[in-house]
């Protein structure tokens, strides 16, 4: 699940109008929201994105997205292994996992039915009133064990919420960059406050068409609408990214604060977007707990 969460973080930071020549390295912290402070680093260059998570000063995991190759690489520094798969392979494994869950639920229902029949024979010796009460409880338990069919989603079911962005007129300096403040409202409710720094042009490293292709492939595996913030174009902050990079984001609901602590534009070596030498390669199925 941690790798999926990291992948979501990587997707949220990307969208642009044109590629740039130099890459960007951006360090962020995430604080509040009822969880321990987290540190992460984003490296963006020429349609490649690497998101690294830390525990203290130690790198723990990383996710690399190569939009040209349409691949996702997950690196576990503690276990010294990595996995590379296409977005299509990710989606297919997710579909298989959901199908397996449905089959497991069906098997559980069959086992429960067999147990119910045994209990029915034993209930014949009980007084009628007591037998009726237990039979009612059994029927309720049996009904709850039946697998429920997945809902059929219509395009309008996943329509984005009504969003509005207002410029606050406030300014701030974050990590040495001048930034302008905005308020983001969702369905009339203040959702977050965001500060955008125009001088951080990291988003221009990414081809939006290739990003959209990868996201669309991943979303097709979901049985329900994805979170609003992960839908391409649905998160209002995406509209602000053409003007710069969000150096501070305050979630008014959860209380978490994401803030850039350092950002620099420089050329990034190709090796940064490759698994470390000596790490063992695993398959996606192995990484997800399969055999």
Helices (H), 13-127: 87-123
**Average pLDDT of the chain?**
77
Q: Does residue 96 lie in a domain region?
A: yes
Strand order in the sheet with 81-86: 163-174, 177-186, 189-197, 245-251, 257-266, 23-32, 35-45, 48-55, 58-66, 71-76, 81-86, 280-281
Q: How many residues does the chain have?
A: 291
Is residue 291 assigned to a domain? no
Q: Torsions phi, psi of 154, nearest 5?
A: -105, 155
Residue 96 and residue 148 in one domain:
yes
Q: Are residues 218 and 272 in the same domain?
A: yes
Residues 113 and 253 in one domain: no
In terms of domains, do 57 and 119 share one? no
The answer to whether residue 16 sits within a structural domain is yes
CATH of the domain at 63: 2.50.20.10
Residue-wise pLDDT tens digits, 99-147: 666 566 656 656 666 666 666 655 555 556 555 656 666 666 555 545 4
- pTM of the model as a whole: 0.70
**The pair of three-digit structure tokens given for residue 65, joined into one six-digit string:** 């997205």
Q: Tell me, yes or no, whether 129 and 237 share the same domain.
A: no
| Domain shared by 100 and 126, yes or no | yes
Domain that holds residue 252: 2-89+156-280
Phi, psi of 179 (to 5 degrees): -140, 150
Residues 182 and 51 in one domain: yes
Report d(CA 277, CA 93) in Å as an integer: 27
Angstrom distance (rounded) from CA 283 to CA 78: 17
Nearest to 252 by CA among 37, 28, 32: 32
Please say which residue of 136, 154, 172 terminates a domain. 154
- Per the structure, the count of domains in the chain is 2
Counting beta carbons within 10 angstroms of the beta carbon of residue 285, is it exposed (0 to 12), middle (13 to 18) or buried (19 or more)? middle
Q: Are 41 and 25 in contact (CB under 8 A)?
A: yes
Task: Please tell me whether residues 139 and 197 are part of one structural domain.
Answer: no
Q: Which of 199-203, 235-239, 265-269 has the lowest mean pLDDT?
A: 235-239
Quote the CA–CA distance of 243 and 236 in Å, as a whole number.
Answer: 13
Domain membership of residue 285 (yes or no) is: no
Are 67 and 111 in the same domain? Answer: no
Cα–Cα dist 228/222, whole Å: 13
Helix-helix angle 128-145:87-123, to 10 degrees: 170
pLDDT digits (tens, 9 = 90+) for 213-251: 887 777 766 655 655 444 444 456 667 777 899 999 999
If asked whether residues 172 and 258 sit together in one domain, one would say: yes
Q: Of the candidates 110, 125, 154, which is a domain's last residue?
A: 154
Confidence of residue 8 (pLDDT cuts 50, 70, 90): very low
Question: At which of 154, 182, 198 does a domain end?
Answer: 154
Q: Are residues 28 and 42 in the same domain?
A: yes
**pLDDT at 21 exceeding the cut of 80:** no
Q: How confident is the model at residue 91 (pLDDT cuts 50, 70, 90)?
A: confident
Inside any domain, residue 174: yes
What's residue 266's pLDDT?
95
pLDDT for 213 equals 85
Same domain, 162 and 250: yes
Please list, in sequence order, all residues whose beta carbon lies within 8 angstroms of the beta carbon of residue 72, skipping any fewer than 6 positions away: 7, 63, 64, 65, 66, 84, 85, 86, 87, 90
């Amino acid at each position: 699940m941690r790798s999926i969460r990291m992948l979501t973080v990587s997707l949220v930071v990307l969208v642009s109008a044109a590629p740039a020549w130099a890459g960007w390295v951006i360090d962020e912290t995430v604080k509040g929201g009822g969880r321990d402070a987290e540190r992460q680093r984003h490296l963006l260059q020429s349609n490649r994105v690497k998101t690294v998570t830390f525990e203290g000063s130690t790198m723990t995991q990383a996710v690399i997205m190569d939009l040209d190759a349409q691949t996702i690489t997950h690196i576990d520094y503690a276990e010294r292994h990595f996995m590379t798969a296409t977005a299509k392979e990710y989606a297919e494994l997710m579909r298989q996992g959901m199908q397996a869950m449905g089959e497991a639920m069906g098997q559980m229902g069959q086992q429960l039915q067999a147990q119910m029949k045994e209990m029915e024979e034993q209930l014949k010796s009980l007084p009628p009133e007591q037998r009726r009460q237990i039979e009612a409880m059994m029927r309720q338990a049996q009904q709850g064990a039946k697998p429920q069919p997945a809902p059929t989603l219509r395009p309008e079911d996943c329509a984005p919420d009504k969003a509005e962005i207002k410029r606050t007129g406030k300014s701030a300096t974050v990590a040495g960059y001048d930034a302008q403040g905005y308020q983001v409202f969702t369905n009339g409710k203040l959702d977050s406050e965001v500060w955008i720094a125009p001088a951080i042009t990291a988003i221009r490293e990414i081809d939006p068409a290739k990003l959209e292709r990868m996201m669309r492939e991943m979303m097709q595996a979901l049985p329900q609408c994805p979170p609003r913030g992960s839908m391409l174009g649905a998160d209002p902050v995406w509209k602000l990214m053409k003007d710069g990079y969000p150096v501070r984001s305050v979630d008014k609901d959860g209380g978490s604060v994401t803030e850039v602590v350092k950002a620099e534009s420089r050329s990034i070596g190709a090796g940064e977007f490759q698994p470390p030498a000596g790490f063992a390669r695993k398959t996606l199925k192995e990484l997800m707990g399969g055999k």
